[in-house]
Amino acid sequence: MTLREILGAIAAGALVLAALPWLASDFMLSLALTCLMYIGLAVTWAMFSGATNYLSLATSAFFGIGAYVTAWGFGTLPYALVVALGGLAAAAFASLVGAGILHLRGAYFAVLTFGLGELVRHAITYSEKTYAHTVGRVLQDAPESTAVYWTVLLIATAAVAACAAVRASRLGLALAGIGADEERAQTLGVNTRRAKIAGFALAAFFAGALGAAVAVRWTYIEPASVFNPFIGFQTVLIAMIGGAQTLAGPIVSAVVFSLLTELLRLQFPYAYLIVLGFLLIVLVLYLPGGLASLISRWRQARA
Amino acid sequence: MGFWLELAASGLITGGIYAVVALGLNLQYGLMRIMNISHGEFLMLGAYLTWLAHTVFGINPVAFLPVVAIVLFLTGLAVYRLCFRRITRTSPSVEIIEARSLLVGFGLMYLVQNAAYLIWGADLRGYSFLADAVVIGDARFAGNSLLAFGFAVAASLAMLAVLRWTMLGKAIRAMMQSPAGAQLVGIDTAFLHPAVFGAGLALAGVAGALLSMVYEITPGMGEPYTVTALIVITLGGLGSAAGCLAGGLLLGLVEAFGMHFTSPSLKMLLSYAVFIAVLLARPKGLFAR
């Protein structure tokens, strides 16, 4: 499919989903919202980490930063502005941090990004305690659930469209080149540093905007709940299982796993995570390319 | 004076534990490039085993240390056989081994940690063991933390001695330097890889057992230690056992004094500041020449 066809399909899908508030119950709407959130998180994660092989575990950090922009700004600023600011704050944080740590490869990068969430969480907890004398913040006058749904739908659509556009662009080629062989990409004249920071910040923007948009669903915001490492872990898992090198893989597996999570996690919290952990191990061992690689393997076998 | 001594000692005591945890991870990462992010979870298992043995069967935690080490060594062999052997065999490059082992480590982390939550619940567990204060000079220490420190340093030194002076240690060091070269001179990787992986987990288990004597334990206790271990490895240099010991003690001191002068809730920030500073300024470790 050409880029124009892909973008058309995305727009059509988004239009259909935009009608959901008139068709579905509140419960269905909240399920759909979770699906959309993970679609946005997983495709943008795959856009950067899937292409470059830089395993970023910072999604929960970006998400939490966005949520905290909502906690601070909501009430004084309009909802749409808060969401945009949440994304920008996360992107600014990502480019700042990225400039410092994106020369690290492999495990160091992964562990450092994993720690970012903890780091920001502790910093916010500390500053809230010392300067604002609170532990968490209560949100009042949250927008209607339909408004939240449309906002998240818009962000998720923009995220998927951005990923499709990036994949077809110079930036996308540069990121893929970095993933294949960073030194070779450098030799061929790619400014790898700039490409990595741009990709990292773009992914962070969407994660932050999603965090800011979704945060109004919780009436009470505290660092421990918004910097939940589970969100980052689930994002990586979804993208890997779907196939982080593809666009459609993470979307499909985001829907499947969000539904599973919503249905099972509350009833069997520990058992569900045990199964997730087990799935991840089996998948990495026996299907490192994700479910999408099954399809391409099947196509090759037919051809 | 007594206060500063106590502060320094408490830093060294946590530092000693850090060193043991980091040593185990360093063996696995340095030798096989397996970034076992679930390392802390096996520390937690060691702690729970000791707690169980003490509260259910009344076994002395110190006497139980060798059992913990052996159980976790065997666990390590099994984990290696089931998960990491396939990765090291099928991955085309070292970087891919790292990335895949990291993901598998995350899977293991969630698996083991949540299994522990399921079995033992989220409550803090603990037992009292040698909790009386020991007075040295004008400083007071808890007996159990002195004991833990002693064992931590002894375990690190024993590991150092094995690496430096035995044939086995020489083989391990050779493999750290050059995996292909080591195979050429007849070092048996099929035997050494699982054994070293198991030894790494055994060290984590011993560290957990020591921690359970001093602190209360929860299924989520291991995670921060994994991150700390990585910081210590970075401080001490990849694959360097002596660097691990020095780095661990140093980080313990930095944390103790840093927390005293700022605030205990900044502990994590301090460790990260050290981590990032070292990565930026001396990425090969503080003691690299």
Residues of B with CB under 8 A from a CB of A: 29, 35, 37, 83, 86-87, 95, 98-100, 102-104, 106-115, 117-118, 227, 230, 234, 263, 265-266, 268-269, 272, 275-276, 279-280, 283
CA distance B20 to chain A (A): 19
CA distance A37 to chain B (A): 22
Say whether residue A129 is in contact with chain B using an 8 A CB cutoff: yes
In a domain, B180, yes or no: yes
Does the pLDDT value for residue A90 go beyond 90? yes
Does the pLDDT value for residue A280 go beyond 70? yes
CA distance A80 to chain B (A): 32
Lowest mean pLDDT among A261-270, B9-18, B37-46, B253-262: A261-270
Average pLDDT over residues B220-235: 85
Average pLDDT, chain A: 85
Q: Which of B72, B56, B55 is nearest to B20 (CA)?
A: B72
- A232-279 tens-digit pLDDT: 888 888 888 888 788 888 898 899 888 888 877 777 778 888 888 888
Query: Which of A112, A183, A227, A286 to mutate: most B Cβ within 10 Å?
Result: A112
The pTM of the full predicted model, rounded to 2 decimals, is: 0.81
In a domain, B285, yes or no: no
Distance in angstroms (rounded) separating the CA atoms of residues B62 and B80: 27
Does the pLDDT value for residue B289 go beyond 70? no
In a domain, A144, yes or no: yes
Chain A, 76 to 105: residues with Cβ < 8 Å from chain B are: 100-101, 104-105
In a domain, B150, yes or no: yes
Cα-Cα end-to-end distance for chain B: 36
In a domain, B254, yes or no: no
In a domain, A239, yes or no: no
- What's the total number of domains in chain B? 1
- B153-166 tens-digit pLDDT: 888 888 888 888 88
Does the pLDDT value for residue A208 go beyond 90? yes
Average pLDDT over residues B52-81: 88
Please list, in sequence order, all residues whose beta carbon lies within 8 angstroms of the beta carbon of residue A12, skipping any fewer than 6 positions away. none
Does the pLDDT value for residue B282 go beyond 80? no
**What's the pLDDT score for residue A226?**
82
In a domain, A243, yes or no: no
Write out the residue range of the structural domain in which residue B74 sits. 2-226
**What is the DSSP pairing of strand B133-136 with strand A220-221?**
unpaired
Residue numbers in A near B227 (CB within 8 A):
111, 114-115, 118
Say whether residue A230 is in contact with chain B using an 8 A CB cutoff: no
**Are A53 and B99 within 8 A, CB to CB?**
yes
Joined together, the tokens standing for residue A137 give 């913040």
Does the pLDDT value for residue B138 go beyond 80? no
Quickly list DSSP for chain A: --HHHHHHHHHHHHHHHHTHHHHS-HHHHHHHHHHHHHHHHHHHHIIIIIHH------HHHHHHHHHHHHHHHBTTB-HHHHHHHHHHHHHHHHHHHHHHHTT--HHHHHHHHHHHHHHHHHHHHHHIIIII--SSEE--SPPPHHHHHHHHHHHHHHHHHHHHHHHTSHHHHHHHHHHH-HHHHHHTT--HHHHHHHHHHHHHHHHHHHHHHHGGGSSEE-HHHHT-HHHHHHHHHHHHHH-TT-SHHHHHHHHHHHHHHHHHTTTSHHHHHHHHHHHHHHHHHH-TT-HHHHHHHHHHHH-
Lowest mean pLDDT among A50-59, A120-129, A165-174, B263-272: B263-272
Considering only alpha carbons, which residue of chain B is nearest residue A270?
Answer: B114
In a domain, B231, yes or no: no
Average pLDDT over residues A93-98: 90
CA distance B48 to chain A (A): 18
Distance in angstroms (rounded) separating the CA atoms of residues B273 and A123: 12
**Are A118 and B268 within 8 A, CB to CB?**
yes
Distance in angstroms (rounded) separating the CA atoms of residues A148 and A153: 8
**What number of C-beta contacts closer than 8 Å exist between A and B?**
109
In a domain, A218, yes or no: yes
Write out the residue range of the structural domain in which residue A107 sits. 3-228
**Are A284 and B269 within 8 A, CB to CB?**
no
Joined together, the tokens standing for residue A79 give 């909802």
Average pLDDT, chain B: 83
- B163-217 tens-digit pLDDT: 888 888 888 888 777 777 887 888 887 788 888 899 999 999 998 988 888 888 8
Q: How many CB atoms lie within 10 A of CB A52?
A: 25
Across the interface, which of A106, A108, A233 has its CB nearest the CB of B106?
A233
Does the pLDDT value for residue B136 go beyond 70? no
Beta bridge partners of B142: B133
**What's the pLDDT score for residue A178?**
87
Beta bridge partners of B125: B217
Distance in angstroms (rounded) separating the CA atoms of residues A224 and B83: 32
In a domain, A130, yes or no: yes
**What's the pLDDT score for residue B58?**
81
In a domain, B217, yes or no: yes
**What's the pLDDT score for residue A8?**
83
Average pLDDT over residues B95-122: 85
Q: Which residue is listed with tokens 């062999």? A: B77
In a domain, A262, yes or no: no
In a domain, B25, yes or no: yes
Does the pLDDT value for residue A91 go beyond 90? yes
Average pLDDT over residues B233-237: 82
Residue A200 · residue A98 · CB < 8 Å: yes
**Are B107 and A277 within 8 A, CB to CB?**
yes
**What's the pLDDT score for residue A159?**
92
Lowest mean pLDDT among A69-73, A101-105, A168-172, B17-21: A101-105
In a domain, B284, yes or no: no
- What's the total number of domains in chain A? 1
Which secondary-structure segment (H or E) carries B7? helix B2-32
Burial class (CB in 10 A: 0-12, 13-18, 19+), A127: exposed
Query: Which of A285, A287, A293 to mutate: most B Cβ within 10 Å?
Result: A285
In a domain, A166, yes or no: yes
**What's the pLDDT score for residue B271?**
80
Across the interface, which of A236, A270, A280 has its CB nearest the CB of B118?
A270
Residue numbers in B near A125 (CB within 8 A):
265
